[in-house]
Amino acid sequence: MSEYNIMKKTLADQWYSLPVVLQAHYQTKDNTDVGMLDIEYPAWMQVSLNLLNSIGALLNRKGNAISTEVKKVMHGNVQHWSRTITFENGEKVYFKSHWCHVGGNKMIEFVNPIIGLCMSVEVNNKSLYYQGEYFVLRLGKLTIPIAEWMLLGHTTIVEKEFDDNHFTMDFRLRHPLFGQIYRYSGKFMTVNN
């Protein structure tokens, strides 16, 4: 088991002001979040989301109260997230990514070996706030930053304590011209594997 805690490294002293339920969500031990997810986006985004989904980025199906499981495992200094989204008809959709700390309060979530999103993270009023900084294209040892506005728009994620055992998360993608073009949100609890 790795002793490296990617979120603790990213937040530094702010880690200690994070509620226990969110510390459990980002613990070093292998763990699983279980909960329900809502996914929403305008109909005109469907073709773009189908393309993005084919390269491992974003889910391309809408729904409410979708059963969701997120398994998290540390491998060295990288945290791997494996999401299983089970729709009402029993169909399962999978979405994987991995997270790396890249210095200061910044981390990158890679949705495949070459495409990622760099985000800054901070604790404010006992909630965890992510702000998209830029997209990245990784070609071997070269990492090329791409401004958010040139692609999908600005990403925000807010995670908050709901109670002693549950947290809520809210992911939004806002385009500078079209406004909010994608959102998923839900309530989860973390269980140790």
CATH code of the domain covering residue 80: 2.40.128.20
pLDDT in tens, 159-169: 999 999 999 99
| CA–CA distance, 5 with 191 (Å, rounded to integer) | 17
Indicate the SS3 state at residue 163. coil
User: 131 vs 102, 108, 172, CA distance in Å?
Assistant: 15, 11, 10
Under a CB-based contact definition with an 8 Å cutoff, are residues 118 and 106 in contact?
Answer: yes
Our measurement of the distance from residue 192's CA atom to the centroid of its chain's CA atoms, rounded to an integer in Å, reads 19
**Domains contained in the chain, number:** 1
27/185 Cα distance (integer angstroms):
21
Per-position b or e across 97-119, b if 16+ CB within 10 A of its CB: bbbbbbeebbbbbbbeeebbbbb
Q: At residue 187, does pLDDT exceed 50?
A: yes
* 192 has a pLDDT exceeding 90: no
pTM confidence score? 0.94
Is 154 domain-assigned?
yes
Instruction: With beta carbons less than 8 A apart as the criterion, state whether 155 and 127 touch.
Output: no
User: Is residue 1, in this structure, part of any structural domain at all?
Assistant: no
pLDDT tens per residue, range 128-161? 999 999 999 999 989 999 999 888 899 999 999 9
| Longest alpha-carbon distance in the chain | 45
Segment 2-17 mean pLDDT: 91
Is 37 part of a structural domain of the chain? yes
The runs of H, that is alpha helices, within the chain are 6-11, 20-25, 46-54
Range of the domain at 83: 6-192
